[in-house]
Amino acid sequence: MEAVAVAPTEETTAVKRKIKGARLIPSGIAFIKATFNNTKVTITDPRGNVICWGTAGKAGFKGSRKSTAYAAQLVATDTVKKAQQGFGMREVEARINGPGPGRESAVRGIAAAGVDVTSIKDITPVPHNGCRPPKRRRI
């Protein structure tokens, strides 16, 4: 009997996606990167594997609106809801990075989505007098 190679069809790929999406991850880590221009939220499982992510640009904001606290709150809420629906996430540890305006409002957005925030950590790297910062803007 000969082995016949079968091309992947829509049915077989749909089954694989269902199996992968079916795993339950009750707790995870939310990495919030708040820059002056944008806010990015990445949700991972406890081992660090990315489950879902979102940015202010992906949420529909453009230009200077991406850097607002409201955009950060919406991004965090949308991303956490995606993790809830796809993976059954119930609690999250928030790790905040960066100096942007969306720092606290992103954590508020996570809590507003109905997920318990177990801890909040600031992981912004602080130099011990490292590189010289850029010069001041003159407008």
* Three state DSSP letters for 44-93: ECCCCCEEEEEECCCCCCCHHHHHCHHHHHHHHHHHHHHHHHHHCCCEEE
Q: Residue 83's beta-bridge partner residues?
A: none
Domain for residue 43, yes or no? yes
Domain for residue 138, yes or no? no
- Please determine, for residue 9, whether its predicted confidence score (pLDDT) is greater than 80: no
Domain for residue 9, yes or no? no
Domain for residue 104, yes or no? yes
pLDDT digits (tens, 9 = 90+) for 15-71: 455 555 568 999 999 999 999 999 999 999 999 999 999 999 999 999 999 999 999
Domain for residue 107, yes or no? yes
Domain for residue 127, yes or no? no
For residue 135, the 8-state DSSP code is P
Task: Tell me the residue type at 10.
Answer: E
How many Å apart are CA 108 and CA 119, to the nearest integer? 13
Question: What range defines the domain where residue 101 resides?
Answer: 24-122
Task: Say what percent of the chain tops pLDDT 90.
Answer: 80
